Amino acid sequence: MDVFFLGTGAGMPAKLRNVTSIALKLLEERGSVWLFDAGEATQHQILHTSIKPRRIEKIFVTHLHGDHIYGLPGLLSSRSFQGGETEVTVYGPKGIRDFLQISLSISQTYLKYLLKVVEIEEGIVFEDEQFSVEARLLDHGIMSYGYRVAEKDRPGTLLADKLKEAGVQPGPIFKKIKDGETVTLEDGRVIEPNEYLGPSQKGRVVTILGDTRFCENAIFLAKGADLLVHEATFAKGEDQLAFDYFHSTTHQAAEVAKQAEAKQLCLTHISSRYDRHAWRELVKEAAEIFPNTDIAEDFKEINIPLKGEKHLP
């Protein structure tokens, strides 16, 4: 599970930061990539990475401001040209369906794959046996959502040596036990999986928020998250400016992380008013309240290790 930043700027493209798009790479978990927003030129950013558009399975749109959606029609179109044939589902606020239908129909774009569009409300917007995704409204000038991606607990490590001691040889039976199936051996013995599995591995949680002022729903979504990605359009001391423009400061993002007891905070949606030298200052400001803070940059990747593992460099 890796969070890869394709665009980290605010408002419009800049030389050092493109507009917002974040990829959640779930290649080991399900062989796919989930995108969160697709600002202008997202597909150009992807060209500089190892991400394959055909692996994009879901796209979660936080809100309908242009710097978060203008890259979506082009990306969907190019995915079709690049051999993408599997279904894609786009989740987003009311209006996302009209935006895509009009963009694709007027340009006479034909997709070779099924495109589903889900206009969401608050609550669980997706769930399967591996993950659940919960959305909550934030506080922005237009309807803006945050998303909590929660991995479900994994079965514990297979105790292979214990199985061998019981006379069970490696093979398909091992997989069945690992998957939690009760197995009856040829000699009639019944193997209960809970006797041959270690403690279950706690699932990981990543929270990715759209544009927002400081609000309670942000804290709710980030509760205990392994990684919180929170906008920090303004530096500390710019509280009134942030409020007027429905955004957050570094201190406000850090306060959300602190109150939510998140493990790590990454600041994004950085205004072009702050140059490269100022980025470290933004991190220092947030760290005054929440020490484990980092700042996103285009093409930066953060690994979310399984519980008990160390972060990869």
Q: Please enumerate, by residue number, every residue annotated as part of a binding site for Zn(2+).
A: 63, 65, 67-68, 140, 211, 269
The token pair at 150 is 């929660």
Phi, psi of 281 (to 5 degrees): -65, -35
Phi, psi of 56 (to 5 degrees): -70, 120
What is the Rg, in whole angstroms, of the alpha carbon atoms belonging to the chain?
A: 22
Pairing type for strands 131-137 and 205-209 reads: unpaired
Q: Rounded distance, CA 170 to CA 182, Å?
A: 16
Q: Rounded distance, CA 296 to CA 48, Å?
A: 17
Give the CA count within 13 Å in the CB-facing half-sphere of 169.
1
Which residues, in sequence order, are CB contacts of 265 under 8 Å at separation 6+? Answer: 227, 228, 230, 253, 254, 257, 286, 290, 292, 293, 294
Pick the catalytic residue from 2, 37, 67, 244: 67
Which residues, in sequence order, are CB contacts of 93 under 8 Å at separation 6+? Answer: 61, 63, 64, 119, 120, 142, 143, 144, 145
Q: Beginning with the edge strand found earlier in the chain, give each strand of the sheet holding 301-303 in spatial order.
A: 115-119, 88-92, 56-60, 32-36, 21-26, 2-7, 301-303
Determine the distance from the C-alpha atom of residue 38 to the mean position of all C-alpha atoms in its chain, rounded to a whole number: 13
Q: Rounded distance, CA 170 to CA 77, Å?
A: 46
Q: 242, 241, 256: which is closest to 286 by C-alpha?
A: 256
**Whether residue 67 lies in the annotated active site:** yes
Binding-site residues sit at 63, 65, 67-68, 140, 211, 269
**Beta bridge partners of residue 9, listed in sequence order:** 270
- Please list the active-site residues: 67
